[in-house]
Structure 1
Amino acid sequence: MRLHPFKRAQAQQGVALVEFTLVLPVLLLLLLAFGEFGRMLYQYNVLLQASRDADRFVASQAWNSTLGAVALSDALKAQTRNVAVYGVPANTGTAVVSGLTTANVVVAAVGFDHVRVTITYTFCPVIGGSNCAGSIPGFFGNQIALSIPLVATTVMRAL
């Protein structure tokens, strides 16, 4: 029985380049997916902090001591929405997340002594375009939507 010698290096030329070109698209797709996932988590964290700030703002002003309960006026709700979107009670500045509007914010009383601020936002990945209407085909014919709804809710007791 004879041992077969290894092929010479000259016969293996270019194999690494072919393997690299086959693996490169998968590696780039994974890199893009990790980057988009990180961006989504960052935007969710910003939305959660904005809902905390807005809830802290409304909780400090919503308590009506004569009624012994929370009283939310339309003006206070509008200011709270502005705090959630712009960071200030006035309707000025830029949104904390691009595309976020005051229509995405809901301010409500919970019980007689708590207030809740809910921010609903649709995350759009870079590959989906700016209108977030994109989708990719699934393996079995069903479309996979690229938009991901993010909901940040905070409940605090009125002071």
Structure 2
Amino acid sequence: MMIPPCDSTKARQRGIAATEFVIVLPVILLLMLGTAELGRAFYQYNTMTKAVRDGARYLADNAIKGATGVIDIDAATEAETKNLVVYGNTTGSGSPLLEGWSPAEVTAAGFDAAHIRVSATFAFKPMFSKIPAFGLGEDIVLELNFQAATTMRAL
């Protein structure tokens, strides 16, 4: 019995789509995970910069004591500013806005005679913190250090 040419072409084509899928799947997964990780990094950086800006507004409002016109940042105001940046409230209660962030990574001080400055750093840790080198050298570390600072005129 002779198989028609059309059927033999179909038989030879069977499995091609599955093979192409297996070849393309790792690339697609890598692109999807990279996009998700980049979005996560932008989200955390944006959260950090907004928190630093809010802390600078709070410190600018509370830096001048009385009608002296001189910037005087006491320890309590500095601690409240750091707590506001990290926790979103001046008491320091609750969990940090970013996982692993602490008030020690925030500085709040006078910048000059009329301005204050709040700055912060945050170590962004991606889901996969290292790319293995498979014995061909050192592993590639993927951690990023985010920095944000805001300077405002003291009110």
User: TM-score if structure 2 supplies the norm length?
Assistant: 0.87
Matched, 1:158 2:154: yes
The answer (yes or no) to whether the contact 1:59–1:156 under 8 Å persists in 2 is yes
Root-mean-square deviation (CA, aligned residues, Å) is 2.0
The number of aligned residues is 148
> Could you tell me whether the CA contact under 8 Å between 1:114 and 1:158 is conserved in 2?
yes
Q: How does 1:1-159 map to 2 (within 5 A)?
A: 8-64=9-65, 65-66=67-68, 68-128=69-129, 134-137=130-133, 141=137, 143-159=139-155
**Identical pairs, percent:** 38
Measure the CA separation in 1 of the matches of 2:24 and 2:88: 45
Q: Which sections of structure 1, spanning at least 5 residues, go unmatched?
A: 129-133
Query: What is aligned with 1:131?
Result: none
Shift in Å at residue 59 of structure 1? 0.3
Contact 1:63–1:158 (8 Å) recurs in 2? yes
| Structure 1 letter corresponding to 2:51 | A
Counterpart code for 1:103: A
1:107-142 Cα distance to aligned partner (Å, 9 max, x none): 1211111111111000111122xxxxx45439x745
Equivalent-residue separation in structure 1 for 2:131 and 2:28 (angstroms): 21
* Secondary structure, counterpart of 2:128 in structure 1: helix
- Unmatched tracts of structure 2, length 5 or more: none
